[in-house]
Structure 1
Amino acid sequence: MLSEQSAATVRATLPAVGGALGEITERFYAGMFEARPELLRDLFNRGNQAAGTQREALAGSVAAFATHLLEHPGTRPDAMLGRIAHKHASLGIAPDQYAIVHEHLFAAIAEVLGEAVTPEVAAAWEEVYWLMANALIAVEKRLHEERGGPGWREWEVVERVTETADVVSFRLRPADGGPVRDFRPGQYVSVRVVLDDGARQIRQYSLTGAPGPDERRFSVKRVHDGRTPGGEVSGHLHARVRAGDVLELSEAYGDLVLDTEPAAPLLLASAGIGVTPMIAMLAHLADHGHDAPVTVVHGDRSPADHALRVDHEAYAAKLPDASVHLFYEQDAPAGTATGHVDLTGVPVAAGTRAYLCGPLPFMRGVREQLIGRGVAPADIHYEVFGPDLWLAERG
């Protein structure tokens, strides 16, 4: 709980701090990476840093946490903290790294705001920071304990499948031959690779299924975004990794998971590579004999770009009460629609629980349509890849 004195100070200074967060976080990252270059090389996404999206992520999380403390005294934004904690746990963030962030973040705040950062202001915002940091440390500790501790495990690639021109799937099993923990449909793993310059870069990929009891599968879209550097890990996986190679994976994490209790109509909407967690959800539903209505919606550039389309349709076909609605911007075959996803002609049953994954504009558009069709906002769940998480929270 934020103390009354700090709450008053944070409330008075939030507009100024919030308005300067972009500059603060830019200087924060520059200072931290100058002092600790190994963090950029081996932990932070260099592509996101080059594009500036990581700065927006930190700014959004700090502002959202402070705002919640002011608007809902005595409570914590547990859903938001849980989402961050799962990401951090999958990356192997250690408790002592929060002290490093604190040091450089508050140096940047003092540098940007100057004399406005009185001892009272600094103390109030430090209270906000450590409330957030300590809450995350506690949740991350619990997550690690549930999964046997933090760390990386070597997995051997036993099959590589080309899904589309830009998407490949990897099927893996533990190199040590040991047991594999279950995962919940919708979760992801972190994958750590060593690049040509020696950097150990990490990216997260949704699990698309478990082809066998001791196996996992994930799919990777090659990134063509013009950033420098950009698409480092996806490019490495596409160009270098074949059957027989070994990758380092984390345990499965992620709090956006399929919930089928109590039974309710489900709507699984995706676009592009956002199809990946939906494949795992559909596989789970098919394997467990789910008999409630399921509506599957997907949008893509063309059928040729629709990764895992065979699995997408095959799992849906195994369900006794499922309908599939596909939208393609071009080359739409008979039985599908041309253009972007439009729910106008898609039946949405009362009490529907929806899961969305894809680019932010897609999810915002589908969410708005679902609310317009009577779906409760609390029943619309979404997965965001990368730092866009905080842009989504603010949207």
Structure 2
Amino acid sequence: MLSEQSAATVRATLPAVGAAIGEITERFYARLFTAHPELLRNLFNRGNQASGTQRQALAASITAFASYLLDHPGQLPNALLSRIAHKHASLGVVPEQYAVVHENLFAAIAEVLGDAATPEVAAAWDEVYQLMANALVAAEKQLYEERGGPGLRKWEVVERIEETADVTTFRLRPADGGPVAGFRAGQYVSVRVPLPDGARQIRQYSLSEAPGGAERQFSVKRVHGGPSPDGEVSNHLHAHVRAGDVLELSEPYGDLVVDAGPDTPLLFASAGIGVTPVIAMLADLANTDHRAPVTVIHGDRSPADHALRTEHERYAEKLPDASVHFFYEQDAGPGHRTGLVDLSDIAVRPGTRAYLCGPLPFMRTVRAGLIEKGVAPADIHYEVFGPDLWSAAQGR
């Protein structure tokens, strides 16, 4: 709980900190990577750093967390902290790194705010940070205990499947021949690869198969630059990784999993590569004889760009009460719709629990449409590919 004195100080200074948070996070990362260059090479996503999205995400997390503490005295945003803890645990974040972040973040705050960063202001914002850090450390500790601690394991690629021009599926088995732990449909693994400059970059990819097998499968979309840099890891995997190669994978993490009773109507809406966790969830439902109604919605540029389309259709067909709606911007063909995803004439049953995965604008649009159709906001769940978890949760 944030103390009364700190709460009053944070409330009074939140507008000023919020206005300066972009500069604060920019200076923070500059300081951090100067003191610890190995973090940029081996932990932080260099593409997100170059594009600025990681700085924006940190800025959003600080101000959103502080606002939540002020608006909900005595409470923490546990659902969102859980999501971040899963991400951190998949990366192998350890408690000592929070102290490193604290040192460099508060030095950046002092630089930017200058005389306004009085001891009282610094103490109040330090309390905010410690509440957030302690909650995350505790959650990550529990996740590590459940999975035997942080760390990566070597896996051998046994098959490579070209799904589309830009999506490739990799199937792997443990290089040590040991057992494969279970996971929940919708979870992801971290994958670390060595790059030509010696960096060892790490990314998260959703497992795109049902739980229960002796192998792991994930599907990777090659990220083309445009305004941002090309995806280092996705392009490396596409260009260089073949059957027989070895990759380092984390245990599965992620909290976007189906958590509903057998009679609860479900809705899955995805766009682009956001289909991957949905495939795993539909496969799991089909394998466990799920009987309740299921609505499947997907949007893509064209059928040729729709990764895992055959599996998408096949698992939906196995469900006894499923409706499928595929939207394509071009070449839709018979039985499908042309244009962007539109919920206006799609029936959504009362009590539906929805799971969304895709670009943030897509998820915001679908969320708004579902709420208009009577779905409770608490029953709409997300998976976000990228660092901006807080902005997604705030509907920004």
Normalising by structure 2, report the TM-score.
0.98
Q: Distance in 1 between matches of 2:136 and 2:184?
A: 21
Question: Is structure 2 residue 9 aligned with structure 1 residue 9?
Answer: yes
Q: Deviations over 1:143-197 (max 9, x none)?
A: 0000111110001111000000000000111111111111111110000000000
1:338 to partner: Cα distance: 0.3
Query: Which residue identity is paired with 2:32?
Result: M
Partner of 2:115: 115
Query: Which residue identity is paired with 1:69?
Result: L
Question: Is structure 2 residue 118 aligned with structure 1 residue 134?
Answer: no
Partner of 1:281: 281
Kept in 2, the 8 Å contact 1:47–1:227? The answer is: no
Question: Is structure 2 residue 161 aligned with structure 1 residue 166?
Answer: no
Partner of 1:73: 73
Kept in 1, the 8 Å contact 2:210–2:284? The answer is: no
**Structure 1 gaps, min length 5:** none
Kept in 2, the 8 Å contact 1:50–1:227? The answer is: no
Kept in 1, the 8 Å contact 2:262–2:292? The answer is: no
Kept in 2, the 8 Å contact 1:180–1:215? The answer is: yes
**Structure 2 gaps, min length 5:** none
Question: Is structure 2 residue 379 aligned with structure 1 residue 388?
Answer: no
Q: State the Cα RMSD in Å.
A: 1.1
Query: Which residue identity is paired with 1:133?
Result: A
Q: Deviations over 1:360-384 (max 9, x none)?
A: 1110001111111111111111111
The percent of aligned pairs where both chains have the same amino acid is: 76
Q: Deviations over 1:317-362 (max 9, x none)?
A: 0011111100000001100000000011211111111100000111
Q: Deviations over 1:110-158 (max 9, x none)?
A: 1111000000000111111011101100100000000111110001111
Q: Distance in 2 between matches of 1:37 and 1:299?
A: 40
Query: Which residue identity is paired with 2:342?
Result: D
Q: Distance in 1 between matches of 2:366 and 2:186?
A: 19
Partner of 1:22: 22
Q: Distance in 1 between matches of 2:210 and 2:296?
A: 21
Aligned residue for 1:307, secondary structure, equals coil
Partner of 2:359: 359
Aligned residue for 2:55, secondary structure, equals helix
Q: Distance in 2 between matches of 1:245 and 1:272?
A: 27
Superposed counterparts of 1:136-151, under 5 Å: 136-151=136-151
Partner of 2:37: 37
Q: Distance in 2 between matches of 1:207 and 1:10?
A: 41
Q: Distance in 2 between matches of 1:150 and 1:372?
A: 42
Q: Distance in 1 between matches of 2:18 and 2:149?
A: 36
Query: Which residue identity is paired with 1:246?
Result: V
Change (3 A) 1:212 1:376: closer
Partner of 2:370: 370
Q: Distance in 2 between matches of 1:363 and 1:228?
A: 21
Kept in 2, the 8 Å contact 1:192–1:200? The answer is: yes
Q: Deviations over 1:209-260 (max 9, x none)?
A: 1586211100000001236643000000000000111100000000111123
Query: Which residue identity is paired with 2:382?
Result: Y
Kept in 2, the 8 Å contact 1:191–1:250? The answer is: yes
Partner of 2:265: 265
Q: Distance in 2 between matches of 1:305 and 1:145?
A: 40
| Larger displacement relative to structure 2 (62-71 or 45-54) | 62-71
Kept in 1, the 8 Å contact 2:156–2:244? The answer is: yes
Aligned residue for 1:344, secondary structure, equals coil
Kept in 2, the 8 Å contact 1:210–1:217? The answer is: no
1:263 to partner: Cα distance: 2.5
Partner of 2:192: 192
Query: Which residue identity is paired with 2:214?
Result: D
| Larger displacement relative to structure 2 (242-251 or 381-390) | 381-390
Q: Distance in 2 between matches of 1:56 and 1:257?
A: 27
Aligned residue for 1:327, secondary structure, equals strand
Superposed counterparts of 1:92-107, under 5 Å: 92-107=92-107
Q: Distance in 2 between matches of 1:158 and 1:221?
A: 19
Query: Which residue identity is paired with 1:79?
Result: A
